[in-house]
Amino acid sequence: MIRVVLPAHLRTLAGVEGEVTLDVGDPVTMRAVLDALEATYPTLRGTVRDHGTLRRRPFVRFFACEQDLSHDEPDTPLPEDVVSGREPFIVVGAMAGG
Q: Give the residue from 26, 27, 35 showing the smallest Cα distance to 4.
A: 35
Angle at 4 between CA 72 and CA 14, to 5 degrees: 115
Tell me which stretch binds another protein (CB under 8 A): 20-28, 30-38, 56-64, 70-78.
Answer: 56-64
Task: Compute the Cα dihedral for 19, 91, 76, 46 and give only its sign.
Answer: positive
- Shortest Å, Cβ 4 to another protein: 15
* 3 contributes a contact to another protein by CB under 8 A: no
Q: Which positions lie near another protein, rule CB under 8 A?
A: 7, 9-10, 13, 43, 45-48, 50-52, 57, 59-60, 93-94, 96-97
